[in-house]
């Protein structure tokens, strides 16, 4: 077949197409070089802001958890009968050395740097650091707001530089009152956040906490601590130094300045460095948590990578375009030279184009699916973190109020009876009631201590517990209510010889909760009956608590051990959950079963202590 020569007009069209392609490449290259840096910067800022938000949520929650823990401890200490009686001058409740050792042990157990007790005149009587050179014993702290505010408001929190230790910390204080509600002293817990600040020092980002005056209280940068964000006004410096809150610290500015503010984040500068800054308040306090990410190196790297990527993509597109243009030229030359090959070349080009389009659509679909999967995973992770935090805070906070309700009610009844007995001159019976009140008060302290440290392994060791003793102790708390409702207690197989492997207080907690639920179910009924049966098996002991109440509906059975699920109007839905967890921690199980009395029945299955001891001897 003879070839067909290319005409001069076709050659001119080829040259024009290449010139247009070259011009388009120059224009697109300049535009891409200009816009790629801005697009990369926006993406980097969004990613950095999301990372800082996540970092702050975790640290803010950790700070709040620490403060809540020691707020609860201060409340428990303020209710301690031994401290109250000591402040009132009653020597029967121990001397100063015994209380000093008690505070020292509490500080070691809870991780608090120091705990101390002030009398009404602000003098330190008891302190956990009583044996150290910088002991607080004998010091007066009447000038500290945490003392005066605690006497005025009942409790206070105050961050300051220690006058004795020279270390800054958060002081949590609570007023101690006598039986008439009169203030007799103040208990104080000092917290330091050394571990948190040490962890922040290892971050690539800068973390710090400021107070309403702009003073930096906590920081991963040691040189920033007790400095101010902005240069403080002279009158503000005079006021702060007069209060001795931060001693003689100069409170100089760290040199930060805001250069640009956005909707959620802002740009701050420190010297020649630029930072992305976000902040959020710490719940339950007047603190503000700050996070700053250094941006200079990241922005330069991101701009370079974005431009390199875009230029590479543009180069690839231009190469493909040039190849397509070259192929088009070859096709048209072939059309001019060899008419017979035109159809074959057109079919090949169309087939190749279709394959590229299919591949492009498949790639777009895969990229979209990957982005959606990442978004779903991020949302699920955030929801899980929030649910876990709420579950922990809900169970600890609601659990304390739930478990001490019955002992407090029993104390009130015994106190009323004691007043009447004293009026009648029956001092011996009144003394017995006071002894019971003392026992119940000690029990409240034991319950709150265990619930506050519920996630920890108890220090007391498990051992043989007599079921009869636990049943008697639990029934003693509820006996007055049972008599008022006309409910009878029936015991079967409950004798002194049956022992289980458990902790006495925790077994009593479970029994009190089950008996209280039974009394709630029998409220308003006539001839109410509660039966406790004990069946000793070879390896286990089964304690069965039954009532002749209305029983449980199918809906309640399905969510029986679900937190915050209750059939009672005033119930918080934690009693059975806590009881279930206690029994499980003791190596047993709590189950609901059929009742021979027609109401609800719960089975507590625990290890047989006699069987356990027998195996140990063998």
Following DSSP, what letter does each residue of 210-234 receive, concatenated? Answer: E-TT-BEEEESSGGGTT-BSS---H
Instruction: Enumerate domains of the chain plus CATH numbers.
Output: 79-192 (3.30.450.20), 457-617 (3.30.565.10)
Mean pLDDT (whole number) for 489-502: 91
Q: What is the mean pLDDT of the chain?
A: 80
Count the alpha carbons within 13 Å of 55 in the hemisphere toward its beta carbon: 22
| Confidence band, pLDDT 50/70/90 cuts, at residue 395 | very low
Mean pLDDT (whole number) for 23-39: 62
CB 438 within 8 A of CB 418: no
- Using alpha carbons, list the distances in angstroms from residue 208 to 205, 311, 416, 580: 10, 40, 53, 41
Mean pLDDT (whole number) for 234-261: 75
**Burial class of residue 153 (count of CB atoms within 10 Å of its CB; 0-12, 13-18, 19+):** exposed
Of the listed ranges 73-82, 132-141, 371-380, the least confidently predicted one is 371-380
Q: Which of 11, 32, 29 is nearest to 21 (CA)?
A: 29
Whether 299 has a pLDDT exceeding 70, the answer reads no
| Confidence band, pLDDT 50/70/90 cuts, at residue 338 | confident
Rg (CA), the chain: 37
Query: What is the distance, to the nearest Å, from the Cα of residue 268 to the centroid of all Cα atoms in its chain?
Result: 30
**Burial class of residue 511 (count of CB atoms within 10 Å of its CB; 0-12, 13-18, 19+):** buried
More confident residue, 150 or 456: 150
Which strands make up the sheet holding 155-161, listed edge to edge?
124-127, 114-119, 183-191, 168-177, 155-161
* Tokens standing for residue 336: 């001019």
Separation CA 549–CA 524 (nearest Å)? 10
Ranges 17-31, 157-171, 234-248, 336-350, most confident? 157-171
Of the listed ranges 66-80, 394-408, 500-514, 569-583, the least confidently predicted one is 394-408
Whether 148 has a pLDDT exceeding 50, the answer reads yes
Separation CA 124–CA 190 (nearest Å)? 14
Whether 383 has a pLDDT exceeding 60, the answer reads no
* Stated pTM of the model: 0.46
- Say if strands 216-219 and 114-119 run parallel, antiparallel, or are unpaired: unpaired
3-class DSSP assignment, residue 539 = coil
Q: What is the DSSP string of 174-198?
A: EEEE-TTS-EEEEEEEEE--HHHHH
More confident residue, 235 or 80: 80
H helix or E strand, kind and range, residue 548? none
Separation CA 161–CA 418 (nearest Å)? 48
pLDDT of residue 267: 80
- Backbone CA torsion sign across 93, 94, 99, 102: negative
Mean pLDDT (whole number) for 90-101: 83
Separation CA 608–CA 278 (nearest Å)? 58
Whether 147 has a pLDDT exceeding 90, the answer reads yes
Q: Which of 245, 243, 240, 273 is nearest to 259 (CA)?
A: 273
The tens digit of pLDDT for each residue in 583-604 reads 999 999 999 888 888 889 999 9
Separation CA 155–CA 167 (nearest Å)? 22
CB 539 within 8 A of CB 498: no
DSSP-assigned letter for residue 267: E
Q: Which residue has the tokens 């004990």?
A: 534
Separation CA 345–CA 335 (nearest Å)? 9
Separation CA 421–CA 428 (nearest Å)? 9
Q: Which residue has the tokens 């299919």?
A: 358
More confident residue, 33 or 159: 159
- Using alpha carbons, list the distances in angstroms from residue 256 to 231, 253, 272, 547: 10, 8, 11, 69
In 3-state terms, the chain is what percent helix, strand and coil (to 5)?
A: 55, 20, 25
Separation CA 411–CA 431 (nearest Å)? 14
**E strand segments, 365-481:** 463-466
Whether 412 has a pLDDT exceeding 90, the answer reads no
- Per residue in 465-480, is it b (16+ CB within 10 Å) or e — as a string? bbbbebbebbbebbbe
Separation CA 618–CA 613 (nearest Å)? 9
* Tokens standing for residue 155: 């409790």
The tens digit of pLDDT for each residue in 267-294 reads 888 877 888 888 889 988 889 999 888 8
**Burial class of residue 196 (count of CB atoms within 10 Å of its CB; 0-12, 13-18, 19+):** middle
Whether 344 has a pLDDT exceeding 50, the answer reads yes
Of the listed ranges 448-452, 571-575, 591-595, 599-603, the least confidently predicted one is 448-452
């Amino acid at each position: 077949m003879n070839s067909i020569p290319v005409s001069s007009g076709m050659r001119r069209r080829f040259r024009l197409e290449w010139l247009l392609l070259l011009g388009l490449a120059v224009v697109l290259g300049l535009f891409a070089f200009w816009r790629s840096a801005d697009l990369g910067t926006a993406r980097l800022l969004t990613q950095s802001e999301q990372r800082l938000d996540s970092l702050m949520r975790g640290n803010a929650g950790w700070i709040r958890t620490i403060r809540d823990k020691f707020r609860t401890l201060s409340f428990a200490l303020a209710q301690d009968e031994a401290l109250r009686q000591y402040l009132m001058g009653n020597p029967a409740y121990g001397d100063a050395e015994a209380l000093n050792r008690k505070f020292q042990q509490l500080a070691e157990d809870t991780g608090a740097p120091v705990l101390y007790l002030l009398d009404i005149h602000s003098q330190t009587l008891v302190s956990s650091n009583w044996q150290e050179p910088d002991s607080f014993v004998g010091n007066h702290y009447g000038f500290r707001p945490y003392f005066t505010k605690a006497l005025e408001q009942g409790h206070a929190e105050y961050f300051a530089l220690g006058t004795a230790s020279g270390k800054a910390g958060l002081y949590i204080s609570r007023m101690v009152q006598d039986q008439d509600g009169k203030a007799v002293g103040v208990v104080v817990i000092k917290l330091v956040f050394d571990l948190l600040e040490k962890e922040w020092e290892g971050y690539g980002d800068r973390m710090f906490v400021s107070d309403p005056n702009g003073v930096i209280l906590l920081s991963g940068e040691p040189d920033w601590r007790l400095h101010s964000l902005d240069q403080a006004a002279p009158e503000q410096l005079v006021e702060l130094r007069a209060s001795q809150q931060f001693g003689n610290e100069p409170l100089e500015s760290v040199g930060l300045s805001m250069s640009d503010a956005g909707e959620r984040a802002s740009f701050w500068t420190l010297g020649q460095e630029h930072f992305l800054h976000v902040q959020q308040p710490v719940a339950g306090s007047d603190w503000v948590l700050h996070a700053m990410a250094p941006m200079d190196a990241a922005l330069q790297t991101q701009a370079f990578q974005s431009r390199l990527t875009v230029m590479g993509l543009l180069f690839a597109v231009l190469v493909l375009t040039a190849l397509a243009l070259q192929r088009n030229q070859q096709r048209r030359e072939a059309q001019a030279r060899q008419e017979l090959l035109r159809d074959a070349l057109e079919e090949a080009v169309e087939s190749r184009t279709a394959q590229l389009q299919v591949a492009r659509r498949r790639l777009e679909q895969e990229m979209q699916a990957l982005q959606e999967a990442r978004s779903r995973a991020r949302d699920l992770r955030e929801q899980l973190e929030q649910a876990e935090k709420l579950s922990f805070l809900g169970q600890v906070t609601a659990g304390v109020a739930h478990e001490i309700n019955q002992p407090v009610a029993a104390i009130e009844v015994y106190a009323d009876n004691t007043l009447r007995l004293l009026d009648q001159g029956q001092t011996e019976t009144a003394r017995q009631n006071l002894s019971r009140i003392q026992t119940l008060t000690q029990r409240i302290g034991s319950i709150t201590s265990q619930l506050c440290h519920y996630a920890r392994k108890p220090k007391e060791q498990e051992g043989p517990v007599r079921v009869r003793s636990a049943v008697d102790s639990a029934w003693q708390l509820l006996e007055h209510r049972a008599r008022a409702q006309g409910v009878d207690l029936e015991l079967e197989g409950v004798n002194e010889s049956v022992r289980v492997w458990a902790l006495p207080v925790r077994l009593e907690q479970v029994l009190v909760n089950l008996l209280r639920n039974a009394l709630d179910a029998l409220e308003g009924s006539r001839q109410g009956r509660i039966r406790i049966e004990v069946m000793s098996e070879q390896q286990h002991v089964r304690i069965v608590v039954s009532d002749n109440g209305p029983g449980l509906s199918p809906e309640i059975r399905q969510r029986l051990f679900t937190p915050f699920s209750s059939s009672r109007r005033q119930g918080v839905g934690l009693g059975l959950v806590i009881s279930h967890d206690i029994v499980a921690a003791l190596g047993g199980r709590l189950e609901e079963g059929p009742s021979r009395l027609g109401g609800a029945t719960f089975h507590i299955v625990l290890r047989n202590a006699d069987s356990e001891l027998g195996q140990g001897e063998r």
